Chains A and B, each alone.
Chain A
Amino acid sequence: MAEKILMKGNEAIAYAAINCGCDGYFGYPITPQSEVMETLMKEKPWETTGMVVLQAESETSSINMVYGGACCGKKVMTSSSSPGISLMCEGISYLAGAELPCLVVNVMRGGPGLGTIQPSQGDYFQTTKGGGHGDYRNIVLAPASAQDMYDFVDLGFELAFKYRNPAIILGDGVIGQMMEKVELRPAKARRTDEEIKKLCASWATIGKTADRKANTITSLALEADVQERFNIKLQKKYAEIEANEVRYSTYKTEDAEHLIVAFGCMSRICENVVELAREQGIKLGLLRPITLFPYPKAAIDALVPQLKSIMSVELNAGQMIEDIRLISNGRVPVNFYGRQGGMVPSPEEIFEAFIKTIK
């Protein structure tokens, strides 16, 4: 049996990065995710796998280091928390516009502005709808445990390279700060220069050789028609991601008459809400989107006919609920319960709110 280690979600990100053959991490300290870089610095992976770890001068610089590393076909990543991610959004738009693979981890805290350092899910819109300028999408994974944090690093890189697109792990202060046991996976070696050449030579800036044309990585097109053609290509890619990469899980939805939809730490808390309801004979189920883009539209749509109500439970003022309402399209009431600014509700508190919506 693989070894199980007690670690914080943030530490899991760092260990997973080293373990899955990440080439470079570039970051800037911010609570509640500073343990990611602290763990990497403590572990000194440059002495073992050769992974580069660098504390940048800002989040802006971090994401642009990621851009530079991604241009070289390397598996590169950064992590931050909400205000830092806002700074990175320009860079993420460039990465999407240049079709570069990378991994960004957001351990969300309360906003807007400098906000609080407590857990939040207030960046749902920012992350799933873009965040930076222009028509682009991120692949968004929402972890609900330290194990997810660990596993989604490798998964995030796989998806990022499969689609040459930024992937974002959208965690929160609960998942980042909480310790749980994490089962370590078999290590993957970093890609060799030869492997990178084989995989990325058609686009990466790894040195122009006589057998190919020079590669240029840019997101610039001065002519509108060229830009439009590119944007249409991007949209096709996003449609492909929506067709192939939806991930979600359900809990007691088979006979459910009511459904809670919640992601990340809230999905864990809402499992207890399902139990509280079931104790009272109320047929409540839970759907947890694991990918927030692509969103599990079909899964929710298929449940709608059996439901009397849906409740979206989020650590924000109601963001994901808009996606659920689009899917429900008026067929069933879609209610909301959320806390903001870093407050995290208990299962009992959510259950009370849920009961009120169905009476």
Chain B
Amino acid sequence: MPTINSLDDLKKVREEALRKRDLKSASGQKQIIIGMGTCGIAAGARETMKAILEKIERENLTGISVTQTGCIGLCEMEPIVQVQVGDSQRITYGKVTNEIAAQIIDKHIQGGEIFKEYMINL
């Protein structure tokens, strides 16, 4: 993994990332959305997101975008993590601890398989 020390490095990383993205079709886009409302934060969503970012960094997982959303009205199920791979249906997971977050990345993001045990049926 290249390290960034200057603006030039940043530009190289940008070109590399753009090239990789062009190689992948749009259907390969992977998105993780974490519920970061007051309820999510109080339930530990920041630690869940931290675990996700650490895993991405540690295992050098590319092509995953990580974003946040507010309260979706399921406060009792927080921390909530939603996963969307390409054009497929967005899956919502509830009570996602650090360990479960790591498993969701392995099974769903990397393996393409829905992790049914923690899925919430909306």
Chain A bound to chain B = no
Residues of A within 8 A of B (CB): none
